[in-house]
Amino acid sequence: MIELDRHIEILLLSNDCVIIPDFGGFMAHYADARRDEADGLFLPPLRTIGFNPKLTLNDSLLAQSYVEAYDISYPDAVTRIEDEVRELRQHLENDGCYELSDIGVLRLGERGSYEFEPCEAGLLTPGLYGLDSFELKSVPQLESELAAATALTELPVRTAQAADMVSTVETSEEEEPLEDGRRHALQIAIWRNMAVACIALLVFLLVPAPLSNNNTVLVQSKVDTGLLLRIMPKNVTTGEETVKEAVSQVPVAMGKQAVGPTVDSAATPYTIVLASRVTRRNAAAYVADLHRRGYDRAEMMVRTRGAKVVYGHYATRQEAYRQLYMLNKKSEFAEAWVMKN
């Protein structure tokens, strides 16, 4: 099952570019409010989506989204993305196109290239307030309509005058319809002026001030996958705890011993995750066991959805992966991965 579109849509809420490794990148662009001359509609600002097949380098943004959504390791996330990309290409080869929900439609070109048609409604952007289009006629159009209406109201008057020149017998009978026509024309003019005033007031109240558009180059992105937890299934393993002996040996104040010293997360943003989504008791017992075996840099990181057991804090990604390579030599650390705080 292809779930790339869900991750891409949510990641584009806080990022301007999301890359699918070895496939292409989806980029969000701001489009200013404009007026459609053909229909006379004012269209609100929106964020539209573009596709660049040359952006294939893995920036780990999509993989980190899979890690947080499904509680899997980084290598498993990369493998899952590769499987979904393979399935997506099969759909394009068999059907010629594939629709990504709320993003757009991908089509396979004649020369094997990919063509992308974005969703007409644009990308969901709370900062643009979800404004709708509205119709506002120009001043020349209003003047021409007013002139046409005035000509139509003057036609019965001229007809009545011609009838008076032919016959003066029914003059008294024709004065009353003529007066009704003038009164009707006056009412039309009054209502038209009121409509123009109301439209001008609505334009003043509804047209927003120009929104600032910060087009700075994206240097660093942080995955915000809080919304994914509401829409994605979670696999939670239940069962008996297998660390009862280790828990019994931990003192009552094990919470203070398990958590490591305070670390500046801005200076050392990278860490190695040994265990994720475990209870605080199990995490503390595991940290205590690692300390007894000489892994003094192991500590417990408490999160709202559970606790994690991490090992060390590193200033660069390369330094963290060097330490991860050393830990992966032991089978119990084979599933560890690097995480950015």
DSSP letters for 299-329: EEEEETTEEEEEEEEESSHHHHHHHHHHHTT
- Count: domains in the chain: 2
Residue 248, domain member (yes or no): no
DSSP letters spanning 259-282:
S-----TTTS-EEEEEEEEE-HHH
The helix/strand/coil state of 232 is: coil
The 3-state DSSP class for residue 201 equals helix
Any idea what DSSP says for residue 123? B
**Domain presence at residue 30:** yes
How far apart, in whole angstroms, are the C-alpha atoms of residue 291 and residue 297?
A: 8
**Is 262 inside a domain boundary?**
no
pTM over 0.95: no
**pLDDT given for residue 64 in this prediction:** 94
> What does the pLDDT read at residue 239?
41
Structure tokens that stand for 154 in this block: 């003057």
Q: State the DSSP code for 96.
A: S
- Is residue 145 situated within a structural domain? no
Dihedral of the alpha carbons of 164, 168, 172, 175, in degrees to the nearest 10 = 0
Q: Of 134, 166, 186, which residue sits at a domain end?
A: 134
Q: Which long-range contacts (CB under 8 A, 24 or more apart) does 86-89 make?
A: 87/2, 88/2, 88/4, 88/23, 89/23
Q: Are strands 337-340 and 270-278 parallel, antiparallel or unpaired?
A: antiparallel
Closest to 11 in 3D by CA, of 196, 180, 194, 226: 226
CB distance 20 to 5 below 8 Å? no
State the residue range of the domain holding 281.
Answer: 270-340
The answer to whether position 198 is within a domain reads no
The predicted structure's pLDDT at residue 31: 84
Extract the residue ranges of the chain whose pLDDT is less than 70: 154-182, 184, 207-265
What pLDDT was estimated at residue 121?
Answer: 77
Residue 255 belongs to a domain: no
Could you give the 3-state DSSP secondary structure of residue 210? coil
**Which of 134, 169, 186 corresponds to the end of one domain?**
134
- The whole-number pLDDT of residue 208 equals 58
Q: Is 46 inside a domain boundary?
A: yes
Q: Is residue 111 in some structural domain?
A: yes
- What separation in angstroms does the CA of 18 have from each of 78, 110, 242? 15, 26, 40
Last residue of a domain, one of 106, 134, 162: 134
For strands 270-278 and 134-135, give the pairing. Answer: unpaired
